[in-house]
Amino acid sequence: MDKVRPGIGQTAFAKGSPLPPDGLAADAQRFGDLPAGALSAGDIEALDRLAEMMRHRRVALLTGAGLSTDSGIPDYRGPDSAPRQPLTYQEFVGDPLLRQRYWARNHIGWAHMHRAEPNVGHFAAAALERAGHLTGIVTQNVDRLHEDAGASNVVDLHGRFDQVVCMNCQTTYSRSFLATILAELNPGFLEAVNGAPIGPDADADIADELLIASFKIAKCPLCGGMLKPDFVFFGENVPKERVERSFAMVEAAELLLVAGSSLTVMSGLRFVKRAAKDLKHVVIINRGETRGDPLANAKLETGVGESLSYLAGALGLDWHNR
């Protein structure tokens, strides 16, 4: 890529127990592209020690919504996030009015989210993977930005926002194809809600209840069945195959690095629990408390994208290009 969107530093965290004392000395601006003050001297010292560990240990990387906020995608639990009550799987399939509301909001959220671009953290993670430092990337995000940045060995644990699936015949369609259908069914809708606040997971806030009530949802073009985004809703189980692939990545690693996840839901926390049980190092980079903190060997409260790009630079990698 010729141009990398700089991070805006919305994701970060607090120090816990230190990393092992061996490490490298560092200068905050050594690798460039990090704004002055983006990383403190203490952050850099801890990241240098982590980079030295990564020279000799393979790493499984678990990423959460905090990594993608620098790409303009809001998260549920970040320090600047407003409280939200996400729609559950049971509500989506069981309540036609809630399903209509969901698709009206998602139609707006998709128009914003599909334009998001990878940030420095995504490019750095892809560089770490290409260089063989990672056993793989497990992401709780549905935005596909890891793949857009060039990573290939990625488990989209909670699915992907760029596809929809028919719950009757299981046919999969691209979300862009559905957007075309919804635009035809609801002419002028996007223009009427221009400027609506965007939420996590391609959601949006719409104040006009009459507009929501007028929204027409699409059915499966093949069988007329119910369409659902191809990602895991709250209250829905993660497919077994994804869980098994993720555990295999953790088991093949000697260190688990968590970047930008509060680990609130068990779908991510279980990998931290497994790593700790197997006496692997666990390092967490996240702003604010996480459920994995008591199990971590080290906790950094600093920018996620800045940290990953610094680690890639410390390991001699060019993360600017795929």
320 is catalytic: no
The reported pTM is 0.84
Instruction: pLDDT band for 196, please (50, 70, 90 cuts).
Output: low
In the set 107, 146, 158, 281, the catalytic residue is 158
Task: Using DSSP, state whether 238 is helix, strand or coil.
Answer: coil
12 or 150, greater pLDDT: 150
> What is the per-residue pLDDT for 190?
82
Element (H, E) at 100: helix 96-113
Averaged pLDDT for residues 299-317:
95
pLDDT tens digit sequence for 65-86: 999 999 988 765 444 544 456 7
**Residue 166, annotated as binding a ligand:** yes
Question: Rounded distance, CA 319 to CA 322, Å?
Answer: 7
Q: Of 58 and 81, which is predicted with more confidence?
A: 58
User: Residue 220, annotated ligand binder?
Assistant: yes
Q: Which residues of 106-129 are buried (b: 16+ CB within 10 A; e: fewer)?
A: bbbbbbbbeebebbbbbbbbbbbb
Q: Looking at residue 38, what is its pLDDT?
A: 78
User: Binding site annotation covers 35?
Assistant: no
Mean pLDDT of 258-266: 95
Residue 20 pLDDT more than 50?
no
Of 33-42, 73-82, 219-228, least confident by mean pLDDT is 73-82
Confidence at residue 18, expressed as pLDDT on a 0 to 100 scale: 36
Q: Give buried/exposed letters for 232-251 (b at 16+ CB in 10 A, else e).
A: bbeebebeeebbebbbebbe
Please name each of the domains of the chain with its CATH number: 41-68+118-158+238-315 (3.40.50.1220), 89-115+161-231 (3.30.1600)
User: In the prediction, which pLDDT does 321 show?
Assistant: 56
SS3 of residue 10 by DSSP: coil
| pLDDT value for 2 | 34
pLDDT band at 11 (very low <50, low <70, confident <90, very high): very low
* pLDDT score of 14: 30
